[in-house]
Amino acid sequence: MTPLLYQKIVQKGTALGIKTIEGITPHAPSNQSLTARQVVNTLLGNDIEIIKDESGKPFVKDAALHISLSHSSTLAAAIVSEQHAVGIDIETVHPRIERIAHKFLSVEELEAITSNRVETLLLYWSAKEALYKLYAKKQLEFTTQLIVQPFQLQQSGILKGSVIVAEEQEIFTDLDIHYEFLEGHVMAYVLGR
């Protein structure tokens, strides 16, 4: 098994990793999901069984661990935590994000983007995807229920974000969304409370 491309201890009991996807062909998309699962196994140091709950969120069978998986066409990422619900997303930096920006950003968010448009759009998308995976309970409206505060784009940093669900305001507000640009990708992750 090839080593991880990137690994980070986020805090005690929480780690993330990224691995290059090998054997990529149009007929082998399962390699992407398999590689994300391999990242979890590498982070934990053993082979574990990952299954999905009724909403599709992956979890480790017979273990009190929180996980989140993501992949692009060439990289797979995972985050594992003993204490916190987690969400992670990784995206390739590519201008095609322009075509769907109106589906995940409000008019105000779109108008606030004044420079580095593609990277900023991708960071918004990745941050909102991480929030979506953290919540993992039901469909959410990206433009009105997944909120990322305006930011100045940097190579890495922390954004503020919230999941707006009336009955759960205190749990999912003012969360830190960590991000980093690396290897032609943007990665964002968030820990719940």
Q: Is the pTM of this model over 0.85?
A: yes
Q: Is 157 exposed, middle or buried (0-12, 13-18, 19+ CB in 10 A)?
A: middle
165 or 167, greater pLDDT: 165
On the CB side of 5, CA atoms within 13 Å amount to 15
- Is the pLDDT confidence value at 25 over 80? no
> Which domains, from first to last, does the chain contain?
6-89 (3.90.470.20), 90-191 (3.90.470.20)
The residue assigned the tokens 């982070």 is 43
Q: Mean pLDDT, the chain, as a whole number?
A: 92
> How does pLDDT run across 109-164, given as a tens digit for each residue?
898 898 999 999 999 999 999 999 999 887 899 999 999 999 999 999 999 999 99
Q: What percent of the chain has pLDDT over 70?
A: 94
Instruction: State the chain's maximal CA–CA distance in angstroms.
Output: 48
